[in-house]
Amino acid sequence: MAEKGRRDFCIECRKETEYLLQKKDIVKNIKDKEYTFAITVAVCAECGEEMGIPGLIDKNVQEIDEQYRAAEGLVSIDDIERLMKIYKIGKAPLSLALGFGEVTIPRYLEGQVPSKEYSDIMKAALSSPAYMKRKLIENREKLTAAAYRKAFAAAESIENLFCVSDKMLRVIAYIFEKLEEVTPLMLQKLLYFIQGEYFALHGRPIFEEDCRAWVHGPVYREVYDLFRDFKYNPIDDARFVLLEGTEDALTDDERRVIDLVVNTFGIYGGKVLEKITHNEDPWREARKGYGDSIPSNELLPKERIMKYYKLIHQKYGIDTEDGLRTYIHDMLDKAL
């Protein structure tokens, strides 16, 4: 869709006119292979001809570069910068740590396109702290002691941080993909509802982690520990690049269950979801003997969650969004 821009001189109209920014497909041949790129062009609002706007050529170069890398599955400049950030390592030391020449990463940051081989190495380091640790050990002699210690400690820290199961990480990644904002409290409750929903529809857990009956509702301790280390919006944290693409490994059944929960429970904030869990039998039974404000690490057994949600499914039909919405409304009415 055209977007209104500023005014500039149109050489066809021979005067200053308003222009619109639009996308235009162009075909370019790179290394004997044709690619179609969508670039931004400025079009005169009066005569419809393209106009040369300051800065547009640089923008087109960036657009083509990003789309070419995406088409070839190559690491982006942003990814390389994330790599440096999460492992707390400079560009020259990163080059050496990965087994490249000392100036390789600096050149990539200036815009040089990496080979597929080198790109795959950087992608592996970005997605796996264990892989990064192996590369650091392999190339230890090329690094200063300080650079090695700092990067290795960062890799170990991230490896320990992401100690939840692969399936849990995939579910979290998919929740982040579907929702723009997710607070730690909201995430905990959504994970619990997803587990209950999956139990109800498939009779088995979607992930292996056990839930605890804390004061503020069901909590997955491993996820709590994971998010406690993130000092700001976790989705914006560079370390969450480790989650990218993991949601692709979910099955259709798993995605459907997550979609059902996200489209219903996911429209409420964490405190509202907390009220719902506080009126559910699994949490209430696990909290017997504890006051409303007394901390507890009491296990909330999977069997109890499954039994409860199977009964809820029989009553409401929670394999549909309408059934889930009815259940949510009834639970919120009960909380009043």
Contacts of 84 (CB under 8 A, 6+ apart): 90, 91, 94
Residues 97 and 155 in one domain: yes
Amino acid found at 156: E
The residue among 252 and 225 whose pLDDT is bigger is 252
The residue among 223 and 258 whose pLDDT is bigger is 258
| Gap between the Cα atoms of 192 and 217, Å rounded | 9
Residues 149 and 203 in one domain: no
Average pLDDT over residues 104-113: 94
pLDDT of res. 188: 95
The residue among 288 and 87 whose pLDDT is bigger is 87
Q: At CB < 8 A and 24+ separation, what contacts does 126-131 make?
A: 126/75, 126/79, 126/82, 126/83, 126/86, 126/241, 126/242, 127/241, 127/242, 127/244, 127/245, 128/242, 129/155, 129/156, 129/158, 129/159, 129/162, 129/242, 130/155, 130/159
| Gap between the Cα atoms of 183 and 214, Å rounded | 17
Query: Please, are residues 196 and 309 in contact by the beta-carbon 8 Å criterion?
Result: yes
What CATH number corresponds to the domain at position 46? Answer: 3.10.20
Residues 219 and 315 in one domain: yes
Q: Does position 2 have pLDDT exceeding 90, yes or no?
A: no
Q: Which of 237, 75, 245, 248 is nearest to 157 (CA)?
A: 237
Number of domains in the chain: 3
Residues 65 and 195 in one domain: no
Average pLDDT over residues 150-176: 85
pLDDT band at 194 (very low <50, low <70, confident <90, very high): very high
Q: Does position 166 have pLDDT exceeding 90, yes or no?
A: no
Residues 216 and 321 in one domain: yes
164, two tokens: 């939840």
Least confident span in 60-64, 170-174, 204-208, 318-322: 170-174
pLDDT of res. 173: 83
Residues 173 and 155 in one domain: no
Residue-number span of the structural domain to which 109 is assigned = 77-161
pLDDT of res. 296: 76
pLDDT of res. 133: 96
Residues 141 and 256 in one domain: no
**Number of Cβ atoms within 10 Å of the Cβ of 11:** 12
pLDDT band at 164 (very low <50, low <70, confident <90, very high): confident
263, two tokens: 């489209």
pLDDT of res. 78: 86
Residues 261 and 277 in one domain: yes
Residues 94 and 58 in one domain: no
Cα-trace Rg, the chain? 26
Average pLDDT over residues 46-66: 92
Whole-Å CA distances, 90 to 103, 165, 166, 200, 327: 11, 31, 30, 50, 53
The residue among 241 and 317 whose pLDDT is bigger is 317
Which of these three, 72, 93, 113, is where a domain ends? 72
**Number of Cβ atoms within 10 Å of the Cβ of 19:** 24
Amino acid found at 13: C
Residues 108 and 153 in one domain: yes
Average pLDDT over residues 226-254: 66
CA 304 to chain centre: 31
Residues 104 and 208 in one domain: no
Q: Does position 329 have pLDDT exceeding 50, yes or no?
A: yes
243, two tokens: 């989650």
Q: Does position 86 have pLDDT exceeding 90, yes or no?
A: no
Query: Please, are residues 21 and 42 in contact by the beta-carbon 8 Å criterion?
Result: yes
| Gap between the Cα atoms of 152 and 150, Å rounded | 6
Which of these three, 27, 43, 72, is where a domain ends? 72
Helix (H) or strand (E) holding 104: helix 104-109
Which of these three, 130, 161, 192, is where a domain ends? 161
| Gap between the Cα atoms of 75 and 80, Å rounded | 7
Residues 30 and 98 in one domain: no
pLDDT in tens, 265-313: 999 999 999 999 999 999 988 888 776 667 778 899 999 999 999 999 9
> Which pTM value belongs to this model?
0.62
Query: Please, are residues 306 and 199 in contact by the beta-carbon 8 Å criterion?
Result: yes
pLDDT in tens, 116-129: 999 999 988 987 88
DSSP strands (E only) in 31-137: 33-44, 50-51
Q: At CB < 8 A and 24+ separation, what contacts does 306-313 make?
A: 306/196, 306/199, 306/200, 306/203, 306/205, 308/196, 308/280, 308/281, 308/282, 309/196, 309/197, 309/199, 309/200, 310/199, 310/200, 310/203, 312/196, 312/200, 313/200, 313/201
Q: Does position 161 have pLDDT exceeding 70, yes or no?
A: no
